[in-house]
Structure 1
Amino acid sequence: MDARRHAVIGYGRLARALVPALRGAGEHVVIGRRSPDDGELSAVEAASLADWVWLTVPDDAIAVTAAGLPWRAGQLALHCSGATPLTALAPAPAVAGFHPLKLLAGDAGLAGVHVGIEADAAHLPVVRALAHALGLMPLALPSPMDARARAAYHASANLAASGVLAVLAEAGALWAAAGLPADAALPALLPLTRGALDTAAARGLAGAVSGPIARGDAGVLARHLDALAAAGRDDDLLLALGRRQLALAEAAGRLDERQAAALRGVLAPR
Protein backbone atom coordinates (compact mmCIF):
# COMPACT_ATOMS: atom_id res chain seq x y z
CA MET A 1 0.00 0.00 0.00
CA ASP A 2 1.46 3.36 -1.02
CA ALA A 3 2.17 5.75 1.83
CA ARG A 4 -0.17 8.69 2.11
CA ARG A 5 0.29 12.01 3.81
CA HIS A 6 -1.81 12.23 6.95
CA ALA A 7 -2.65 15.22 9.10
CA VAL A 8 -3.91 14.51 12.61
CA ILE A 9 -5.75 17.52 14.02
CA GLY A 10 -5.81 17.54 17.81
CA TYR A 11 -3.45 15.56 20.01
CA GLY A 12 -5.35 13.91 22.82
CA ARG A 13 -5.29 10.27 23.94
CA LEU A 14 -6.56 8.89 20.66
CA ALA A 15 -4.10 10.84 18.56
CA ARG A 16 -1.25 9.75 20.81
CA ALA A 17 -2.16 6.15 19.92
CA LEU A 18 -3.01 6.78 16.27
CA VAL A 19 0.06 8.78 15.24
CA PRO A 20 2.68 6.17 16.22
CA ALA A 21 0.51 3.42 14.74
CA LEU A 22 0.33 5.24 11.41
CA ARG A 23 4.05 5.95 11.41
CA GLY A 24 4.78 2.34 12.35
CA ALA A 25 2.81 1.27 9.28
CA GLY A 26 5.02 3.44 7.07
CA GLU A 27 2.60 6.36 6.71
CA HIS A 28 3.78 9.98 6.74
CA VAL A 29 2.08 11.99 9.50
CA VAL A 30 2.03 15.63 10.54
CA ILE A 31 0.21 16.96 13.59
CA GLY A 32 -1.94 20.06 13.53
CA ARG A 33 -2.75 21.85 16.75
CA ARG A 34 -5.53 24.30 17.38
CA SER A 35 -3.13 26.45 19.42
CA PRO A 36 0.36 25.65 18.07
CA ASP A 37 3.55 26.57 19.88
CA ASP A 38 6.64 27.77 18.04
CA GLY A 39 7.74 25.18 15.50
CA GLU A 40 4.38 23.39 15.50
CA LEU A 41 1.80 23.34 12.70
CA SER A 42 -1.64 24.83 12.97
CA ALA A 43 -4.66 22.77 11.94
CA VAL A 44 -4.89 24.67 8.65
CA GLU A 45 -1.19 24.23 7.89
CA ALA A 46 -1.25 20.51 8.63
CA ALA A 47 -4.41 19.91 6.60
CA SER A 48 -2.95 21.72 3.59
CA LEU A 49 -0.10 19.18 3.52
CA ALA A 50 -2.23 16.03 3.76
CA ASP A 51 -4.17 13.58 1.64
CA TRP A 52 -6.08 12.22 4.64
CA VAL A 53 -7.09 14.58 7.44
CA TRP A 54 -7.97 13.03 10.80
CA LEU A 55 -10.08 15.11 13.19
CA THR A 56 -9.31 13.71 16.64
CA VAL A 57 -10.84 16.67 18.45
CA PRO A 58 -13.73 16.38 20.96
CA ASP A 59 -17.11 15.56 19.40
CA ASP A 60 -18.49 19.05 19.89
CA ALA A 61 -15.53 20.51 17.98
CA ILE A 62 -15.64 18.23 14.93
CA ALA A 63 -18.07 20.23 12.80
CA VAL A 64 -16.49 23.59 13.68
CA THR A 65 -12.99 22.29 12.97
CA ALA A 66 -14.05 20.75 9.65
CA ALA A 67 -15.71 23.98 8.60
CA GLY A 68 -12.49 25.93 9.22
CA LEU A 69 -10.11 23.83 7.13
CA PRO A 70 -9.05 24.59 3.53
CA TRP A 71 -10.30 21.44 1.81
CA ARG A 72 -9.24 20.56 -1.72
CA ALA A 73 -10.34 17.91 -4.19
CA GLY A 74 -9.06 14.43 -3.45
CA GLN A 75 -8.74 14.81 0.31
CA LEU A 76 -10.43 12.42 2.72
CA ALA A 77 -11.62 13.64 6.12
CA LEU A 78 -11.90 11.11 8.92
CA HIS A 79 -13.12 11.38 12.47
CA CYS A 80 -12.65 8.81 15.22
CA SER A 81 -15.90 9.44 17.07
CA GLY A 82 -18.40 6.72 17.77
CA ALA A 83 -21.26 9.12 18.44
CA THR A 84 -21.00 11.83 15.77
CA PRO A 85 -22.51 11.30 12.28
CA LEU A 86 -20.27 11.90 9.26
CA THR A 87 -22.42 14.88 8.33
CA ALA A 88 -20.20 16.83 10.77
CA LEU A 89 -17.45 16.49 8.14
CA ALA A 90 -19.71 17.81 5.35
CA PRO A 91 -17.32 20.57 4.13
CA ALA A 92 -14.74 17.94 3.10
CA PRO A 93 -14.83 16.38 -0.39
CA ALA A 94 -14.96 12.83 1.03
CA VAL A 95 -15.55 11.53 4.53
CA ALA A 96 -15.08 8.41 6.63
CA GLY A 97 -15.41 7.27 10.24
CA PHE A 98 -12.72 5.27 12.05
CA HIS A 99 -13.68 4.44 15.65
CA PRO A 100 -11.37 2.08 17.59
CA LEU A 101 -13.31 0.10 20.19
CA LYS A 102 -10.79 0.47 22.96
CA LEU A 103 -10.40 2.38 26.21
CA LEU A 104 -7.29 4.50 25.74
CA ALA A 105 -6.34 5.06 29.36
CA GLY A 106 -3.05 3.43 30.27
CA ASP A 107 -1.85 1.27 27.37
CA ALA A 108 -2.43 3.49 24.36
CA GLY A 109 -1.78 0.87 21.68
CA LEU A 110 -4.48 0.10 19.14
CA ALA A 111 -3.43 -3.25 17.69
CA GLY A 112 -5.76 -6.20 18.15
CA VAL A 113 -9.06 -4.36 18.66
CA HIS A 114 -12.05 -3.86 16.40
CA VAL A 115 -12.46 -0.54 14.64
CA GLY A 116 -15.86 0.67 13.44
CA ILE A 117 -15.47 1.97 9.89
CA GLU A 118 -18.04 3.99 7.96
CA ALA A 119 -17.12 4.98 4.42
CA ASP A 120 -18.58 5.08 0.94
CA ALA A 121 -17.92 2.28 -1.53
CA ALA A 122 -15.01 4.14 -3.10
CA HIS A 123 -13.10 4.61 0.16
CA LEU A 124 -14.14 1.60 2.25
CA PRO A 125 -11.51 -0.77 0.77
CA VAL A 126 -8.58 1.59 1.38
CA VAL A 127 -9.71 2.49 4.89
CA ARG A 128 -10.15 -1.21 5.69
CA ALA A 129 -6.69 -1.92 4.27
CA LEU A 130 -5.19 0.74 6.51
CA ALA A 131 -6.96 -0.76 9.52
CA HIS A 132 -5.39 -4.13 8.74
CA ALA A 133 -1.98 -2.46 8.37
CA LEU A 134 -2.41 -0.98 11.85
CA GLY A 135 -3.23 -4.40 13.31
CA LEU A 136 -6.91 -3.59 13.79
CA MET A 137 -9.96 -5.71 12.94
CA PRO A 138 -12.30 -3.72 10.66
CA LEU A 139 -15.97 -3.67 11.58
CA ALA A 140 -18.17 -2.29 8.80
CA LEU A 141 -20.75 0.17 10.12
CA PRO A 142 -23.93 0.95 8.17
CA SER A 143 -23.45 3.74 5.67
CA PRO A 144 -24.93 6.25 5.93
CA MET A 145 -25.27 5.93 9.70
CA ASP A 146 -27.71 8.51 11.06
CA ALA A 147 -27.54 10.24 14.43
CA ARG A 148 -29.90 7.78 16.15
CA ALA A 149 -27.93 4.74 14.94
CA ARG A 150 -24.67 6.40 15.94
CA ALA A 151 -26.04 7.11 19.42
CA ALA A 152 -27.17 3.49 19.85
CA TYR A 153 -23.79 2.17 18.67
CA HIS A 154 -21.87 4.51 20.95
CA ALA A 155 -24.15 3.79 23.92
CA SER A 156 -23.51 0.08 23.37
CA ALA A 157 -19.75 0.63 23.43
CA ASN A 158 -19.90 2.90 26.47
CA LEU A 159 -22.09 0.48 28.39
CA ALA A 160 -19.60 -2.32 27.71
CA ALA A 161 -16.75 -0.11 28.93
CA SER A 162 -17.52 2.47 31.62
CA GLY A 163 -20.87 0.86 32.38
CA VAL A 164 -18.99 -1.99 34.02
CA LEU A 165 -17.30 0.54 36.30
CA ALA A 166 -20.67 1.69 37.63
CA VAL A 167 -21.52 -1.90 38.52
CA LEU A 168 -18.18 -2.31 40.30
CA ALA A 169 -18.75 0.94 42.19
CA GLU A 170 -22.08 -0.39 43.47
CA ALA A 171 -20.45 -3.69 44.36
CA GLY A 172 -17.78 -1.79 46.28
CA ALA A 173 -20.39 0.12 48.25
CA LEU A 174 -22.05 -3.11 49.32
CA TRP A 175 -18.65 -4.59 50.16
CA ALA A 176 -18.03 -1.69 52.55
CA ALA A 177 -21.56 -2.05 53.97
CA ALA A 178 -20.65 -5.62 54.90
CA GLY A 179 -17.89 -4.23 57.14
CA LEU A 180 -15.02 -5.13 54.82
CA PRO A 181 -12.16 -2.71 54.08
CA ALA A 182 -13.12 -0.49 51.14
CA ASP A 183 -9.61 -0.53 49.67
CA ALA A 184 -9.75 -4.33 49.35
CA ALA A 185 -12.95 -4.33 47.29
CA LEU A 186 -11.54 -3.78 43.82
CA PRO A 187 -8.63 -6.25 44.09
CA ALA A 188 -10.99 -8.89 45.45
CA LEU A 189 -13.85 -8.30 43.00
CA LEU A 190 -11.97 -7.74 39.73
CA PRO A 191 -11.06 -11.44 39.33
CA LEU A 192 -14.80 -12.20 39.43
CA THR A 193 -15.41 -9.65 36.69
CA ARG A 194 -12.56 -10.99 34.59
CA GLY A 195 -13.77 -14.54 35.12
CA ALA A 196 -17.28 -13.64 33.97
CA LEU A 197 -15.90 -11.96 30.85
CA ASP A 198 -13.59 -14.86 30.05
CA THR A 199 -16.46 -17.31 30.44
CA ALA A 200 -18.70 -15.15 28.24
CA ALA A 201 -16.00 -15.14 25.55
CA ALA A 202 -15.88 -18.93 25.69
CA ARG A 203 -19.58 -19.77 26.18
CA GLY A 204 -21.57 -16.69 25.19
CA LEU A 205 -23.50 -14.42 27.54
CA ALA A 206 -26.29 -16.85 28.35
CA GLY A 207 -23.82 -19.64 28.99
CA ALA A 208 -21.80 -17.49 31.39
CA VAL A 209 -24.55 -16.23 33.70
CA SER A 210 -24.09 -17.49 37.27
CA GLY A 211 -25.11 -16.72 40.84
CA PRO A 212 -28.49 -16.93 42.57
CA ILE A 213 -30.49 -15.96 39.47
CA ALA A 214 -28.89 -18.73 37.39
CA ARG A 215 -29.63 -21.16 40.24
CA GLY A 216 -33.21 -19.96 40.72
CA ASP A 217 -32.48 -18.96 44.31
CA ALA A 218 -35.14 -16.31 44.93
CA GLY A 219 -34.52 -16.31 48.68
CA VAL A 220 -30.89 -15.27 48.33
CA LEU A 221 -31.88 -12.59 45.84
CA ALA A 222 -34.46 -11.22 48.28
CA ARG A 223 -31.77 -11.03 50.96
CA HIS A 224 -29.56 -9.08 48.52
CA LEU A 225 -32.33 -6.50 48.19
CA ASP A 226 -32.75 -6.36 51.98
CA ALA A 227 -29.01 -5.72 52.30
CA LEU A 228 -29.26 -2.87 49.81
CA ALA A 229 -32.04 -1.26 51.82
CA ALA A 230 -30.10 -1.66 55.07
CA ALA A 231 -27.09 -0.01 53.45
CA GLY A 232 -29.25 2.92 52.31
CA ARG A 233 -28.67 2.08 48.64
CA ASP A 234 -31.25 2.38 45.87
CA ASP A 235 -32.34 -0.95 44.43
CA ASP A 236 -32.86 0.27 40.85
CA LEU A 237 -29.53 -0.98 39.50
CA LEU A 238 -29.75 -4.44 41.08
CA LEU A 239 -33.34 -4.87 39.91
CA ALA A 240 -32.57 -3.77 36.35
CA LEU A 241 -29.50 -5.99 36.12
CA GLY A 242 -31.35 -8.86 37.76
CA ARG A 243 -34.17 -8.78 35.20
CA ARG A 244 -31.64 -8.88 32.36
CA GLN A 245 -29.73 -11.73 34.03
CA LEU A 246 -33.02 -13.58 34.38
CA ALA A 247 -33.60 -13.28 30.64
CA LEU A 248 -30.12 -14.74 30.02
CA ALA A 249 -30.70 -17.59 32.46
CA GLU A 250 -34.01 -18.41 30.79
CA ALA A 251 -32.38 -18.29 27.35
CA ALA A 252 -29.80 -20.79 28.60
CA GLY A 253 -32.54 -23.14 29.82
CA ARG A 254 -31.23 -22.91 33.38
CA LEU A 255 -34.60 -22.38 35.09
CA ASP A 256 -37.95 -24.10 35.24
CA GLU A 257 -41.14 -22.02 35.16
CA ARG A 258 -41.59 -22.14 38.95
CA GLN A 259 -38.09 -20.78 39.54
CA ALA A 260 -38.46 -18.11 36.88
CA ALA A 261 -41.81 -16.97 38.30
CA ALA A 262 -40.36 -16.69 41.81
CA LEU A 263 -37.45 -14.63 40.53
CA ARG A 264 -39.74 -12.38 38.51
CA GLY A 265 -41.72 -11.70 41.69
CA VAL A 266 -38.62 -10.65 43.61
CA LEU A 267 -37.37 -8.53 40.70
CA ALA A 268 -40.66 -6.76 39.96
CA PRO A 269 -40.37 -2.94 39.83
CA ARG A 270 -41.00 -1.37 43.24
Structure 2
Amino acid sequence: MAAAPVRHAVIGLGRLARALVPALRAAGESVVVGRRQPGDGEFTHAQAATQADWVWLTVPDDHLQATAAGLPWRPGQLGLHCSGATPLSALAAAPAAAGFHPLKLLAGDAGLDGVHVAIEADATHGPALQALAGRLGLQPLSLPQPMTAQARAAYHAAANLAASGVLAVLAEAQSLWAAAGLPPGDALAALLPLTRGALDTAAVRGLPGAVSGPIARADTAVLARHLGALDAAGLPADLLLALGRRQLALAEAAGRLDARQATALRDLLAPR
Protein backbone atom coordinates (compact mmCIF):
# COMPACT_ATOMS: atom_id res chain seq x y z
CA MET A 1 0.00 0.00 0.00
CA ALA A 2 1.38 3.42 -0.94
CA ALA A 3 2.32 5.77 1.88
CA ALA A 4 -0.10 8.60 2.61
CA PRO A 5 0.91 11.95 1.09
CA VAL A 6 2.82 14.23 3.45
CA ARG A 7 1.16 17.50 4.38
CA HIS A 8 3.56 20.42 4.83
CA ALA A 9 3.39 23.61 6.87
CA VAL A 10 5.95 26.34 6.29
CA ILE A 11 6.32 28.66 9.27
CA GLY A 12 7.57 32.09 8.26
CA LEU A 13 7.64 33.61 4.80
CA GLY A 14 11.14 34.94 4.30
CA ARG A 15 13.47 34.53 1.35
CA LEU A 16 13.92 30.79 1.73
CA ALA A 17 10.20 30.12 2.18
CA ARG A 18 9.43 32.14 -0.95
CA ALA A 19 11.56 29.64 -2.88
CA LEU A 20 10.56 26.53 -0.92
CA VAL A 21 6.77 26.93 -0.98
CA PRO A 22 6.46 27.24 -4.80
CA ALA A 23 8.92 24.36 -5.24
CA LEU A 24 6.87 22.11 -2.95
CA ARG A 25 3.62 23.03 -4.67
CA ALA A 26 5.14 22.56 -8.13
CA ALA A 27 6.13 19.04 -7.04
CA GLY A 28 2.51 18.29 -6.11
CA GLU A 29 2.98 18.62 -2.35
CA SER A 30 0.24 19.95 -0.07
CA VAL A 31 1.47 23.13 1.66
CA VAL A 32 0.03 25.68 4.05
CA VAL A 33 1.92 28.75 5.29
CA GLY A 34 1.92 30.07 8.84
CA ARG A 35 2.54 33.77 9.40
CA ARG A 36 3.14 35.75 12.55
CA GLN A 37 0.55 38.31 11.45
CA PRO A 38 -1.78 36.49 9.02
CA GLY A 39 -4.14 38.34 6.74
CA ASP A 40 -7.65 37.29 5.76
CA GLY A 41 -7.71 33.62 4.80
CA GLU A 42 -4.18 33.06 6.09
CA PHE A 43 -2.99 31.00 9.07
CA THR A 44 -1.10 31.67 12.25
CA HIS A 45 1.96 29.55 13.04
CA ALA A 46 -0.08 27.27 15.30
CA GLN A 47 -2.98 26.93 12.85
CA ALA A 48 -0.66 25.93 10.04
CA ALA A 49 1.25 23.44 12.19
CA THR A 50 -1.90 21.61 13.25
CA GLN A 51 -2.67 20.87 9.58
CA ALA A 52 0.71 19.33 8.75
CA ASP A 53 2.79 16.19 9.09
CA TRP A 54 6.06 18.01 8.38
CA VAL A 55 6.50 21.48 9.85
CA TRP A 56 9.21 23.61 8.22
CA LEU A 57 10.57 26.42 10.39
CA THR A 58 12.05 28.99 8.03
CA VAL A 59 12.36 31.75 10.63
CA PRO A 60 15.76 33.34 11.45
CA ASP A 61 18.21 31.06 13.25
CA ASP A 62 17.95 32.86 16.59
CA HIS A 63 14.13 32.42 16.55
CA LEU A 64 14.11 28.69 15.80
CA GLN A 65 14.09 27.37 19.34
CA ALA A 66 11.42 29.75 20.63
CA THR A 67 9.23 29.26 17.56
CA ALA A 68 9.45 25.48 17.85
CA ALA A 69 8.66 25.63 21.55
CA GLY A 70 5.51 27.66 20.85
CA LEU A 71 3.92 25.23 18.37
CA PRO A 72 1.21 22.68 19.29
CA TRP A 73 3.10 19.54 18.29
CA ARG A 74 1.45 16.13 18.17
CA PRO A 75 3.05 12.67 18.01
CA GLY A 76 4.38 11.68 14.61
CA GLN A 77 5.11 15.17 13.33
CA LEU A 78 8.52 16.09 11.94
CA GLY A 79 10.04 19.51 12.55
CA LEU A 80 12.52 20.76 9.97
CA HIS A 81 14.82 23.73 9.74
CA CYS A 82 16.86 24.93 6.79
CA SER A 83 19.81 26.34 8.72
CA GLY A 84 23.34 25.14 8.09
CA ALA A 85 24.65 26.59 11.35
CA THR A 86 22.00 25.56 13.89
CA PRO A 87 21.95 22.13 15.58
CA LEU A 88 18.81 20.03 15.49
CA SER A 89 18.54 20.46 19.26
CA ALA A 90 16.92 23.83 18.49
CA LEU A 91 13.88 21.76 17.45
CA ALA A 92 13.84 19.73 20.66
CA ALA A 93 10.17 20.59 21.20
CA ALA A 94 9.21 18.65 18.04
CA PRO A 95 8.56 14.88 18.21
CA ALA A 96 11.32 14.42 15.59
CA ALA A 97 13.71 16.82 13.89
CA ALA A 98 15.65 17.05 10.64
CA GLY A 99 17.68 19.57 8.68
CA PHE A 100 17.25 20.47 5.00
CA HIS A 101 19.82 23.13 4.03
CA PRO A 102 19.90 24.30 0.38
CA LEU A 103 23.40 25.40 -0.62
CA LYS A 104 22.38 28.54 -2.45
CA LEU A 105 22.22 32.25 -1.81
CA LEU A 106 18.58 33.13 -2.35
CA ALA A 107 17.96 36.58 -3.74
CA GLY A 108 15.14 38.01 -5.81
CA ASP A 109 13.15 35.26 -7.49
CA ALA A 110 15.94 32.67 -7.31
CA GLY A 111 14.60 29.11 -7.28
CA LEU A 112 16.04 25.87 -5.98
CA ASP A 113 16.24 23.69 -9.09
CA GLY A 114 19.59 21.92 -9.41
CA VAL A 115 20.88 23.12 -6.03
CA HIS A 116 22.62 20.73 -3.66
CA VAL A 117 20.79 20.33 -0.35
CA ALA A 118 22.41 19.06 2.84
CA ILE A 119 20.09 16.67 4.68
CA GLU A 120 20.51 15.88 8.35
CA ALA A 121 18.06 13.19 9.40
CA ASP A 122 17.76 9.86 11.17
CA ALA A 123 17.17 6.57 9.39
CA THR A 124 13.40 6.95 9.78
CA HIS A 125 13.13 10.25 7.91
CA GLY A 126 16.28 10.33 5.79
CA PRO A 127 14.96 8.30 2.84
CA ALA A 128 11.76 10.34 2.60
CA LEU A 129 13.74 13.60 2.64
CA GLN A 130 16.12 12.25 0.00
CA ALA A 131 13.12 11.36 -2.15
CA LEU A 132 11.58 14.81 -1.62
CA ALA A 133 14.85 16.44 -2.67
CA GLY A 134 14.67 14.49 -5.92
CA ARG A 135 11.09 15.59 -6.57
CA LEU A 136 12.13 19.21 -6.00
CA GLY A 137 14.98 18.90 -8.50
CA LEU A 138 17.64 19.16 -5.76
CA GLN A 139 20.87 17.20 -5.40
CA PRO A 140 20.81 15.58 -1.93
CA LEU A 141 23.87 15.43 0.32
CA SER A 142 23.77 13.48 3.59
CA LEU A 143 25.30 15.21 6.59
CA PRO A 144 26.83 13.07 9.35
CA GLN A 145 24.27 11.74 11.81
CA PRO A 146 24.71 12.74 14.54
CA MET A 147 26.62 15.85 13.50
CA THR A 148 29.14 17.17 16.02
CA ALA A 149 29.40 20.88 16.76
CA GLN A 150 32.87 20.93 15.23
CA ALA A 151 31.69 19.24 12.02
CA ARG A 152 28.75 21.63 11.74
CA ALA A 153 30.99 24.67 12.19
CA ALA A 154 33.42 23.39 9.53
CA TYR A 155 30.57 22.65 7.10
CA HIS A 156 28.97 26.05 7.58
CA ALA A 157 32.33 27.85 7.35
CA ALA A 158 32.97 26.10 4.03
CA ALA A 159 29.59 27.22 2.69
CA ASN A 160 30.09 30.79 3.89
CA LEU A 161 33.60 31.00 2.45
CA ALA A 162 32.34 29.81 -0.93
CA ALA A 163 29.64 32.49 -0.85
CA SER A 164 30.49 35.74 0.94
CA GLY A 165 34.19 34.89 1.03
CA VAL A 166 34.32 35.55 -2.70
CA LEU A 167 32.89 39.01 -2.05
CA ALA A 168 35.84 39.84 0.20
CA VAL A 169 38.22 38.95 -2.62
CA LEU A 170 36.27 41.16 -5.03
CA ALA A 171 36.33 44.02 -2.52
CA GLU A 172 40.12 43.76 -2.40
CA ALA A 173 40.22 43.74 -6.20
CA GLN A 174 38.04 46.87 -6.27
CA SER A 175 40.49 48.64 -3.95
CA LEU A 176 43.39 47.82 -6.26
CA TRP A 177 41.32 48.88 -9.27
CA ALA A 178 40.80 52.30 -7.67
CA ALA A 179 44.50 52.48 -6.76
CA ALA A 180 45.27 52.07 -10.47
CA GLY A 181 43.35 55.31 -11.13
CA LEU A 182 40.43 53.55 -12.82
CA PRO A 183 36.80 54.62 -12.20
CA PRO A 184 35.62 52.72 -9.08
CA GLY A 185 32.12 52.42 -10.51
CA ASP A 186 33.41 50.32 -13.39
CA ALA A 187 35.27 47.79 -11.22
CA LEU A 188 32.60 45.23 -10.46
CA ALA A 189 31.19 45.05 -13.99
CA ALA A 190 34.70 44.64 -15.39
CA LEU A 191 35.93 42.11 -12.84
CA LEU A 192 32.91 39.84 -12.44
CA PRO A 193 33.36 38.12 -15.83
CA LEU A 194 36.83 37.07 -14.65
CA THR A 195 35.33 35.59 -11.50
CA ARG A 196 32.63 33.80 -13.43
CA GLY A 197 35.17 32.52 -15.93
CA ALA A 198 37.35 31.08 -13.17
CA LEU A 199 34.34 29.38 -11.58
CA ASP A 200 33.11 27.98 -14.89
CA THR A 201 36.57 26.61 -15.63
CA ALA A 202 36.79 25.06 -12.17
CA ALA A 203 33.46 23.33 -12.73
CA VAL A 204 34.93 21.62 -15.80
CA ARG A 205 38.57 21.12 -14.84
CA GLY A 206 38.53 21.12 -11.04
CA LEU A 207 40.31 23.69 -8.86
CA PRO A 208 43.92 22.74 -9.72
CA GLY A 209 43.11 22.69 -13.42
CA ALA A 210 41.55 26.15 -13.30
CA VAL A 211 44.31 28.06 -11.51
CA SER A 212 45.92 30.72 -13.70
CA GLY A 213 47.92 33.93 -13.46
CA PRO A 214 51.48 34.66 -12.34
CA ILE A 215 51.55 31.94 -9.66
CA ALA A 216 50.52 29.24 -12.10
CA ARG A 217 53.20 30.54 -14.48
CA ALA A 218 55.83 30.95 -11.75
CA ASP A 219 56.18 34.60 -12.78
CA THR A 220 57.79 35.95 -9.61
CA ALA A 221 58.59 39.33 -11.20
CA VAL A 222 54.91 40.04 -11.90
CA LEU A 223 53.89 38.80 -8.46
CA ALA A 224 56.47 41.06 -6.82
CA ARG A 225 55.00 44.02 -8.71
CA HIS A 226 51.53 43.07 -7.44
CA LEU A 227 52.84 43.18 -3.87
CA GLY A 228 54.53 46.49 -4.58
CA ALA A 229 51.25 47.93 -5.85
CA LEU A 230 49.60 47.03 -2.56
CA ASP A 231 52.37 48.75 -0.61
CA ALA A 232 52.17 51.86 -2.80
CA ALA A 233 48.39 52.04 -2.29
CA GLY A 234 48.72 51.65 1.45
CA LEU A 235 46.79 48.39 1.37
CA PRO A 236 47.71 45.40 3.55
CA ALA A 237 49.23 42.45 1.71
CA ASP A 238 47.90 39.77 4.06
CA LEU A 239 44.96 38.68 1.88
CA LEU A 240 46.95 38.52 -1.36
CA LEU A 241 49.74 36.59 0.38
CA ALA A 242 47.33 34.10 1.98
CA LEU A 243 45.44 33.56 -1.25
CA GLY A 244 48.71 33.29 -3.14
CA ARG A 245 49.93 30.48 -0.90
CA ARG A 246 46.73 28.58 -1.54
CA GLN A 247 46.98 29.16 -5.28
CA LEU A 248 50.53 27.87 -5.07
CA ALA A 249 49.25 24.63 -3.54
CA LEU A 250 46.75 24.29 -6.41
CA ALA A 251 49.41 24.96 -9.02
CA GLU A 252 51.63 22.31 -7.42
CA ALA A 253 48.75 19.84 -7.36
CA ALA A 254 48.25 20.47 -11.08
CA GLY A 255 51.93 19.73 -11.76
CA ARG A 256 52.44 23.24 -13.14
CA LEU A 257 55.62 24.01 -11.16
CA ASP A 258 59.00 22.41 -10.62
CA ALA A 259 60.72 22.43 -7.22
CA ARG A 260 62.79 25.55 -7.94
CA GLN A 261 59.78 27.55 -9.08
CA ALA A 262 57.69 26.46 -6.11
CA THR A 263 60.46 27.45 -3.67
CA ALA A 264 60.87 30.90 -5.23
CA LEU A 265 57.14 31.53 -5.05
CA ARG A 266 56.90 30.24 -1.49
CA ASP A 267 59.66 32.61 -0.38
CA LEU A 268 57.94 35.58 -2.03
CA LEU A 269 54.57 34.67 -0.52
CA ALA A 270 55.83 34.06 3.03
CA PRO A 271 53.84 35.87 5.77
CA ARG A 272 55.20 39.30 6.62
Give 1:240's aligned residue: 242
RMSD of Structure 2 on Structure 1 (CA): 1.2
**Partner residue of 2:189?**
187
State the match for 1:255 in structure 2.
257
- Map 1:102-121 to 2 at 5 A: 102-121=104-123
CA distance in 2, matches of 1:172, 1:165: 10
Q: 2:135 is matched with which residue?
A: 133
Report what 2:10 is aligned to: 8
Question: Do structure 1's residue 163 and structure 2's residue 156 form an aligned pair?
Answer: no
Answer yes or no: is 1:228 the counterpart of 2:230: yes
Aligned match of 1:172? 174
Alignment size in residue pairs: 270
Q: Distance in 2 between matches of 1:164 and 1:134?
A: 28
- Matched position secondary structure for 1:96: strand
CA distance in 2, matches of 1:169, 1:14: 26
Deviations 1:169-202 (A, max 9, x none): 1111111110111121112111111111111111
Q: Whole-Å Cα distance in 2 between the matches of residues 209 and 9 of structure 1?
A: 43
| 1:19 and 2:21 aligned | yes
State the distance in 1 between where 2:44 and 2:129 align.
Answer: 25
What is the DSSP-based 3-state SS (H/G/I as helix, E as strand, rest coil) of the residue aligned with 2:215? Answer: helix
In structure 1, the residue matched to 2:76 is 74
From the superposition, tell whether residues 59 and 14 of structure 1 become closer, same or farther in structure 2 (CA, over 3 Å): same
CA distance in 1, matches of 2:14, 2:267: 48
Q: CA deviation at 1:80?
A: 0.3
Structure 2: stretches of 5+ with no match in the other structure: none
Quote the residue 2:103 is aligned against: 101
Higher mean Cα deviation, 246-255 or 35-44?
Answer: 35-44
TM-score by length of 2: 0.96
CA distance in 1, matches of 2:77, 2:50: 10
Alignment check: 8 A CA contact 1:16 1:108 kept: no
| Amino acid in structure 1 at the alignment position of 2:43 | L
2-side partners of 1:243 and 1:34: how far apart? 49
Report the Cα distance in structure 1 between the residues aligned to 2:144 and 2:120, rounded to whole angstroms: 7
Q: Which runs of 4+ in 1 moved over 6 A?
A: none
Find the residue that maps to 2:48 and give its secondary structure.
helix
Percent identical residues:
77
Per the TM alignment, residue 146 of structure 1 is displaced from its structure 2 partner at its CA by 2.1
